Chains A and B, each alone.
Chain A
Amino acid sequence: TQLLEQSPQFLSIQEGENLTVYCNSSSVFSSLQWYRQEPGEGPVLLVTVVTGGEVKKLKRLTFQFGDARKDSSLHITAAQPGDTGLYLCKNGQNFVFGPGTRLSVLP
């Protein structure tokens, strides 16, 4: 059974700061997804990464998939209050989410 870890568990920063959150696995991902859950809503897919070393950008968000496909990072540049939420990683091939990083961006 693949175990997913995410760090940090909680992160509270000021608007305009940069941040990076991480997802690590006990085994190789065939593909990895990042979702964001805003308060009071369901998770929404941000990105899917498939190839080791892959980097994808979504506006101020940069996603990197580790070369060995066992880890991934999400970097947010110049965070805004609208980025507040729970960031979840998930193996693209199954249904289990990591525990998430709860981000709070203060104005």
Chain B
Amino acid sequence: EPEVTQTPSHQVTQMGQEVILRCVPISNHLYFYWYRQILGQKVEFLVSFYNNEISEKSEIFDDQFSVERPDGSNFTLKIRSTKLEDSAMYFCASSESRGALSGANVLTFGAGSRLTVL
């Protein structure tokens, strides 16, 4: 069964450093997403990406964050100048459609990348 793969599974970084989290979405999916989950808390939407540009973003997704699809397969989340409060699980997801026509967008999630900022 097709799956979304994320690397690294765990990254430890020093406060102020930049990190890049990588995702390989399902190959025929057109919509890509990043979510964040602080330990024990809710799954928070960060950003959606379609046709090589951001389609929606939350208040969390400020100038510290950026996303990119540098080639035909990878989808990356860059976090500049990391802070202690950026420590969380970051989930990538992809979907085949936006859901407007089909009635719902079905998100397939990766297993997540755990970011620890010291």
Residues of A within 8 A of B (CB): 30-31, 33, 35, 37, 40-45, 48, 50, 86, 88, 92-93, 95-100
Contact = CB atoms under 8 A, between A and B. Distances in A.
Interface string B84-113: 000000010100000110011111111110
B48 A48 contact: no
Contacts, number: 58
A95 B48 CA distance: 8
Looking at chain A's contact residues, is the secondary structure mostly helix, strand, loop, or mixed? loop
A83 B13 CA distance: 34
A21 B112 CA distance: 26
Contact of B43 (A40, A45, A88): A88
B93 A31 contact: no
Given A93-B99, A95-B56, A100 B104 contact: no
B105 A42 contact: no
Contacts of A35: 107
